[in-house]
Structure 1
Amino acid sequence: MKQISRKNWGWKITATGIVFLLLVGGLTGCDQGKTVSRSDFLLDTFVSITLYGESDEQLLDQPFERIEALNSSLTAFETGSDLGLIKENAGIKPVTVSEDTYRIIEKSLEYSKNSGGYFDVTIGPLVDLWGIHSPETKEAPTQEAIDAAKAKTDYKKIILSPDDQSVYLTEAGMAVNLGAIAKGYIADEVMAVLKSEGVKHAIVNLGGNVLVMGGKADNSDFGVGVEDPRNPGNGYLGVLSIKDGSVVTSGDYQRYFVDVAGNKYHHILDPFTGYPANSGLIQVTVVTNASIDADSLSTTLFLLGLDEGLKKVEALPDVEAIFITSENRIVVTSGLKDSFVFDQANYGDTYTITFR
């Protein structure tokens, strides 16, 4: 297996989405005849790519090389990276960036506008301030510090120039963070490489950010488990059957800290309040065609809450979602009625489920 070095990724600390450790469950179904697979610890998480109906392991070289190239382009913390240079030159001058960096920021800005600012690509100052990593005990930032960081969060202060492929943050102290979108972009790029190689059946799993193509080699669906947010890592509430598309989940239970008084602060930050979202949701799973769309929407819907999130899904084509509330309600949009099977036997006493 080709090893790719572990680096500090731009989405390692996310603000508006749980991108790197998304809690989509494992993929079921193994006996597919010829398969090739490779896995590694990348993007600060477990990454695997599996091809069905194939026997040439070299088909996996280019996809993993694409991941490595995007690491170099998109990391926020490495000296001289595009995002680092954008931050260093905020309020000073535009920075010419790579094609990948420009495209993902351009797309992020589109999502920022379409979400009314709930998805905000300039949430970097708040992400840096809160510094939410693995579970630990520490104190929340002061209100004064939160207000100062929030004042530097405003997607309307990004200027993109397609002529020279430059990005400019108009105010000093601003910073771009791609935590809620980067893995979706990478998954789509990896799948594009696989398609160019003639692969017909594949699973790309970037730490739970799942993108599948073509179903299994026997033309049956893949099964993607949706994790229990009340007991992460120890069970799946149900299984989604899907042949083509992406499944991405945002939740409040992987990246968080607890203060000495016992208050819990998760990593999905609301750019309007500057605090972790308090929307009444604990998990949102999005199913759609492109992983970049699923990634950004899972964050947006989590921030919007159940009622507004449902309205958002209903207004978008080819988007479905599974919402789980803090009151243990599971609400599944109508398009998943025939493809999501709830584990009633094991979870029927804990959760109530409604199909909309």
Structure 2
Amino acid sequence: MNLLSVKKQRWKITGIGVALLLLMVFLSGCDQGKTVSRSDFLLDTFVSITLYGESDERLLDKPFERITALNSSLTAFETGSDLGLIKENAGIKPVTVSEDTYRIIEKSLAYSQNSGGYFDVTIGPLVDLWGIHSPETKEAPAPEAINVAKAKTDYTKIVLNPADQSVYLTETGMAVNLGAIAKGYIADEVMAVIKEEGVEHAIVNLGGNVLVMGGKADNSDFGVGVEDPRNPGNGYLGVLSLKDGSVVTSGDYQRYFTDAAGKRYHHILDPFTGYPADSGLIQVTVVTEASVDADSLSTTLFLLGLDEGLKKVEALSDVEAIFITNENKIVVTSGLKDAFVFDEENYGDTYTMTVR
């Protein structure tokens, strides 16, 4: 079946005024036999799970319970939450946290180290200062405030103690932020639950963080659409074909605000400058086995820019990427040469594609 002939399922999150889904799974128009599916608004986005070759909807209960539980522990800063307590006790004392919180912060610290600080799990002060969510009109923070928050962003000042499962930020005013990794971690955890239930074919879609397993019930590949960053929510530049793995995108159009002069500020912050990244990229899509890797790497590669991003991908095994520059150039790593089909008929006049 031609991947470009598959039926598109498009969802929009109207509650926050902007479509947040970067990637959507293309479901075949042909008969796939038995399937069960469920969707909900969780993790501040639209999430869905589809199981192929299954007819028992109760198989979806535990995966959604896992999402709900992780949503409470990994994405909240309320008083008494793990992340809230870590922030409140920064510079004061270590905080013993749940197993999931400890594991994801441990992974985040490793990514921070491996990226040379481009991915920084302690970027919380900058994220809080900029406060970039839904599109709106407001002014950027003062340079002095940015410098203060940047000084509080330093992953080398986080101390983990496996003996008591504690996390300690060594300076007051520091804060952990898991926004660039939480959905990837949760997707992997949810797929683990699905596998434990004996399911062999599934899609987990957490607001565009897509994780697939086993292909469709007829053994054909899933097709994952890569969105047009110049017109988000209204078109797909092409389709990625895969049976197993994760696809995650980071782009400058997801969350942003505009100042009175018309300058736009997106939400992907550079921990070295304290400002939204100006790397020459407008979107990066990463394909890996684990969603937690794809999630963290999509941010890292966006910050690194095209040339350094390509070097990073080349240095890693089982990682592929699609870079889109602000000059409308699509650069696809060689491992996706056959897996990514560019819609040249509709986008060839706007974008040019090369394989590296």
Aligned-partner Cα distance in 1 for 2:209–2:303:
19
In structure 2, the partner of 1:49 is: 49
Task: Flag structure 2 segments of 5+ consecutive residues without an equivalent.
Answer: 1-15
| 8 Å contact kept, 2:188–2:292 | yes
Unpaired runs of at least 5, structure 1: 1-11, 13-19
Once the two structures are superposed, what CA deviation does each residue of 1:28-81 show, in whole Å capped at 9, x if it has no partner? 315310000000011111100000000000000000000111122113322210
Number of the residue aligned with 1:317? 317
Q: Tell me the residue number matched to 1:220.
A: 220
Q: Secondary structure at the match of 1:58?
A: helix
With normalisation by structure 2, the TM-score equals 0.94
Q: Distance in 1 between matches of 2:95 and 2:239?
A: 44
2-structure distance, mates of 1:171, 1:22? 36
Structure 2: distance between partners of 1:55 and 1:25: 23
Matched residue SS, 2:277: coil
CA deviations 1:239-269 (Å, max 9, x no partner) are: 0001000000000002000000111000000
In the other structure, the counterpart of 2:73 is 73
> Which residue does the alignment assign to 1:293?
293
CA distance in 1, matches of 2:303, 2:116: 11
Q: How big is each residue's C-alpha offset from its partner over 1:280-336, in whole Å with a ceiling of 9 and x where there is no partner?
A: 000000000000000000000000000000000000000000000000000000000
- Tell me the equivalent position of 1:195: 195
Count of aligned pairs between the two proteins: 338
CA contact (8 A) 1:226 1:239 kept: yes
Q: What do residues 123-147 of structure 1 show as CA deviations (whole Å, max 9, x unaligned)?
A: 0000000000110000000000000
Moved over 6 A (4+): none
CA contact (8 A) 1:75 1:82 kept: no
Aligned residue for 2:54, secondary structure, equals coil
| Whole-angstrom CA distance in 1 between matches of 2:206 and 2:72 | 17
DSSP-derived class of the 2:321 partner:
strand
Is 1:230 matched up with 2:215?
A: no
Q: Which residue identity does 2:25 align to in structure 1?
A: G
Within 5 Å, give how 1:30-45 maps onto structure 2: 30=29, 31-45=31-45
Q: Is the 8 A contact 1:124 1:175 kept in 2?
A: yes
Tell me which of the two structures has the higher relative contact order, counting C-alpha pairs closer than 8 angstroms and 6 or more residues apart.
1
The answer to whether the 8 Å contact 1:239/1:342 transfers is yes
Task: Give RMSD over aligned pairs.
Answer: 1.1
Structure 1 residues 78-97: aligned runs within 5 Å = 78-97=78-97
Shift of 1:22: 4.9
TM-score by length of 1: 0.94
User: Which residue in the other structure is 1:24 paired with?
Assistant: 23
Distance 1:275 1:71 in 2: 28
Matches within 5 A, 1:264-283: 264-283=264-283
1:178 pairs with 2:178: yes
Distance (whole Å) between structure 2 residues aligned to residue 300 and residue 345 of structure 1: 31
Deviations 1:148-183 (A, max 9, x none): 000000000000000000000000000000000000
Percent identity of equivalent pairs: 88
